Structure 1
Amino acid sequence: METPYLSDARSVVVGTALTQGGRRRSASDLCSRLEPYGFLVPWLVGFFALTLGPAVSSLYLSFTDYDLVDAPYWIGIGNYVRIASDDPRFWKAMQVTFTFVVLAMPLKLTFALTVAVALNKGLKGLSFFRAIFYLPSLLGASVAIALLWRQIFAGDGLLNRLLAHLIGYDGPSWISTPGTALYTLVLLAVWQFGSPMIIFLAGLRQIPKDMYEAASIDGASAGRQFFKITLPLLTPVIFFNAVIQTIDAFKAFTSAFVISNGSGGPIDSTLFYTLYLYQEAFVNFRIGYASALAWVLVVIICVFTALAFFSARFWVHYDD
């Protein structure tokens, strides 16, 4: 017969074992739950140290007078008041940038869609042509391509040599003439059509073929099929590309910096907003003022993006 003391001891041992087992399971469950967050640590470190931290710092500096040497001096909204009322170069940069966005974005998307439609016709060697057409998007933002572009459109560049040889026309220096300098940068942006072209091509592949077959049986021409089937079903992709390319156009910098040697010339005809921001920050060392310019650009991009999403309800057609 088991004594009460032995029964109590056995209960204590069993209880202790169950408690330790429960703790091990709890620790194991906790590790399993925390494991996904461990993979996020590199991204979180990069986000807080390289994105959110500098953004908050620049927001603070935008309300100060700071030149990288002396300590920041708080001036409130003084930088923003100067931007709105006493900076003609700001308005010139806005004019140049908006002109670039209005010209480059639609032309780039139109050209990309045209090439995507052509490639979607069952062209042999599609992978090869897709890679070739995508290559400019990889190289177009580089300094080397900007230097090459400057040589092509210089006074003694390749374009003028071709024009002189073919039609006997002695062209100007396209990049040094105020009336044409910006358009050479627009042409460079359009040449980098590969990225939206790939996205358009993927969207075209998702359109059911039986729709075109039914339309052909009903006697619809190729043009009518494009405007009544292809474009409506492709509007989500068009919307995505339009938003991305508009943001990229507002952020354009390298081509204008290299082609104009950092001046935005001739006579500020290629003074992109980002180039003006760079000049204020790292040429004139007005860091506080440049930070204010940066936040104005953030607001402008947010406004355009919000307007795009608002207008999407009227022309973007989803499956539902």
Structure 2
Amino acid sequence: MAREAGVSVATVSKAVNGRYGIAADTARRVMDAVEKLGYASSLVASSMRSRHTGVIGVLVADFEPFSAEILKGVGAALHDSELDLLAYSGSRQRDSEGWERRSLSRLSGTLIDGAIMVTPTVVGASSDIPIVAIDPHTGRADLPTVESDNFGGALQATRHLIQLGHRRIGFVAGRPDLRSSSLREAGYRQALSDAGIAFDPALVRVGRYEPDAARERTGSLLASADRPTAVFAANDISAIAVHELATSLGLSVPRDLSIVGFDDVPEAARRAVPLTTVRQSMQRLGEEALSMLLTLMDGHTPENTHIRLPTALVVRATTAPPPEG
């Protein structure tokens, strides 16, 4: 870089970091070399000098449809700002509790100025930087949080199946440690209770929001002689896995089995038999979390530190009245 501009390394450093004591034509020559060579300053070095990196971190357990939509929302909200986005997944530790703490210890203070944690495994996480959680852990949340109306959405989904005439309705639960999962099960149970239908634990399987687990644990349920006529899955990728399993068992959806999901990921509407689901605005979850985080980074307290966004039932082609008899 210095050789290309015909100056010393110290002069390059001054020009790149906007310091005084360098002539305008020299600074212009250095910046021309920067553009020509595609130079980018080290984030770590910059943070050591200014204690700020200009980077927002989004920490996810995995890059699946839910987190991908959240990242789109955060990215769109950052589009006109001077901040950059770092999406981080600790792939070697994401299945262990507390992976967020280990990730934050690696990133905070050197690579990122603030963090958004998506579906964390912990209630709180101490850090030197501001943090916001999306779809938080169960229990009292020490962090500012953004989530959807999980109870109301599950209530709508189950009531839809009941109104179609279903009485044996299976439920594929999510991760037991997440508040969203417990609230979706509570909504399912409440809808059954409101309709005078007894809750049957034999109709519940824990899919952990994971397609393989949903497929494996729902097999015995769908293969049984008294199988349910409908299934409400706590997220779309589990609902899609149940649909694929049902097809492999010779069941027709929705003639033999109705299925409802939760999320409304892009694939839900694109399938050959589009999925009936509960829509939560995943991109808006990211936008709201970022807005809250930026307020915290500015040294202020958000007006609302716990935001709940509305959900809506989207009826498509995977639900119908139960088969006669």
- How would you bin the TM-score normalised by the shorter chain? under 0.3
More strand by share: 2
More helix by share: 1
- Kindly indicate whether structure 1 or structure 2 has the higher relative contact order, using CA contacts under 8 Å at least 6 residues apart: 1
Scaled by the length of structure 2, the TM-score of the pair is 0.24
